[in-house]
Copies of this chain bind each other. A is one copy, B any other.
């Protein structure tokens, strides 16, 4: 079993009704944070004449990475979520990953790291959207 699943299972206020959704969203955020950090660095390592076209990709990689970390951490502190904050955070993460995925899509025919990064971003959008859908009104229910 991976650490995050095991940590959530031993958490005294672990999510009850939405365990898998919360678990998947945390893991997708950290996975995407790694992919976007690596994509930014891979873009910086491309040939000089290519970097110019990759500027926005690098910026959006960095944005997505920062919001994935912030959101992954916020979801982990799920014991008594403030609904407006939970929603706004997930939406910011979704927008950051969408913007990054769309930019990466424009470069993936030439740069395979952009394809891998786009896929990680799309999985993160999906996992955050599931968290947003599963917790429509009052945040996650917990065992408290």
A interface, CB within 8 angstroms of B: 2-4, 6-8, 10-13, 26-27, 30-35, 37-42, 44-46, 48-49, 51-52, 55-56, 58-60, 62-63, 65-67, 69-70, 72-74, 76-80, 82, 84-85, 87-89, 91-92, 94-96, 98-99, 111-113, 115-117, 119-120, 144
**Copies of this chain:** 4
A97 to chain B, nearest CB (A): 10
A136 to chain B, nearest CB (A): 16
A58 to chain B, nearest CB (A): 6
Check B79 against A89 for contact (C-beta < 8 Å). Answer: no
Task: State which of B2, B27, B48 has its C-beta within 8 Å of the C-beta of A51.
Answer: B48
**Known A39-B7, A42-B11; contact A85-B95, beta-carbon cutoff 8 A:** yes
Task: Kindly list chain B residues whose C-beta atoms are within 8 Å of the C-beta of A7.
Answer: 34-35, 38-39, 42, 113, 116-117, 120
